A = this chain, B = another copy of it.
């Protein structure tokens, strides 16, 4: 059995790989088995253990992602979610590898936003507004940079100091980018071709009325019914809304559940899931004035795609 920690996975497997492998898995979706995930509450609030198994039949590889959620961890300078992935050869039964799953989770989530931006945002999108600069933000940036000619990034965070830290990190890795931390979220919304939200907010982080025509929005923060980072007044204004996984969003994304209950948006109005968009090579934008929305909550088969991809790259290098 091989063991690869976060740094090793990070140095071998990148955003380009993740986007490629997730798009490739969509072609193979009939080969995927995934069950309901198991959740064990382990403490107050959302503190819990999550177990997400999935299997790729033709590749004869199975994974389980084991995720701990510890909501008060940031107070102790530890990440809220920590994941480990075990990969098994199902033809021999041999457990092949343990891979750090935290980076792979952030990477696949960034890749999903990247794929959505590729199929939904304006091809000339040059400005990216990021609301929330916490643990998931960096790979969200990478996903968008991979697919669009971003020149300027606007950052907004409830705690401004964290936005400034994140700005410095971006400038270190991408010195050619222009990065601006804004005090008012409205400034960001009005200047961004793509708005990417990654918060755990229970109330909208921007106003729908401020969104300019032609904007694409990725919402990856709300993954529980009480979380509602997107303003649902946006949904009737959007020409296309795509979900990463329709069942997942229907059950987990708070702002969509509330919009559905209030009849502001109906789940059957969705343009499709990311898989159908990729498989049909749908460009979900009729004009440069369309507003488009992608909502992501995650699903086990995205983890399967990147875990197999990372394993194969790491194995070939070792």
- A residues with a Cβ closer than 8 A to B are 1, 3, 5, 33, 35, 38, 40, 42-43, 47, 49, 51, 53, 55, 57, 62, 64, 66, 68-70, 73, 76, 78-82, 84, 86, 88, 90-95, 98
Q: Give the residue of B43, B82, B95 whose beta carbon is less than 8 angstroms from that of A68.
A: B95
The answer to whether A49 and B73 touch across the interface, beta carbons within 8 angstroms, is no
The answer to whether A51 and B53 touch across the interface, beta carbons within 8 angstroms, is yes
Smallest beta-carbon distance A115→chain B, Å: 27
Question: Which one of A35, A68, A70 has the highest number of Cβ atoms from chain B below 10 Å of its Cβ?
Answer: A68
The answer to whether B62 and A40 touch across the interface, beta carbons within 8 angstroms, is yes
User: From A78, which residue of chain B is reached at the shortest CB distance?
Assistant: B92
Smallest beta-carbon distance A89→chain B, Å: 8
CA of A98 to CA of B99, assembled, Å = 11
CA of A47 to CA of B70, assembled, Å = 35
The answer to whether B51 and A40 touch across the interface, beta carbons within 8 angstroms, is no
Q: Which residues of B sit under 8 angstroms from A82, Cβ to Cβ?
A: 93-95
CA of A88 to CA of B66, assembled, Å = 9
User: From A37, which residue of chain B is reached at the shortest CB distance?
Assistant: B38
Q: Give the residue of B5, B33, B42, B78 whose beta carbon is less than 8 angstroms from that of A90.
A: B42
The answer to whether B86 and A66 touch across the interface, beta carbons within 8 angstroms, is yes
Q: Which residues of B sit under 8 angstroms from A81, Cβ to Cβ?
A: 93
The answer to whether A38 and B40 touch across the interface, beta carbons within 8 angstroms, is no
Q: Which residues of B sit under 8 angstroms from A57, Cβ to Cβ?
A: 42
Q: Which residues of B sit under 8 angstroms from A78, Cβ to Cβ?
A: 92-94
CA of A130 to CA of B94, assembled, Å = 28
The answer to whether B93 and A69 touch across the interface, beta carbons within 8 angstroms, is yes
The answer to whether A92 and B73 touch across the interface, beta carbons within 8 angstroms, is yes
Q: Which residues of B sit under 8 angstroms from A98, Cβ to Cβ?
A: 1, 3, 84, 86, 98
The answer to whether A40 and B49 touch across the interface, beta carbons within 8 angstroms, is no
**CB-CB nearest 7 A-B residue pairs:** A68-B93, A70-B93, A84-B95, A42-B90, A82-B93, A3-B3, A98-B98
The answer to whether A88 and B55 touch across the interface, beta carbons within 8 angstroms, is no
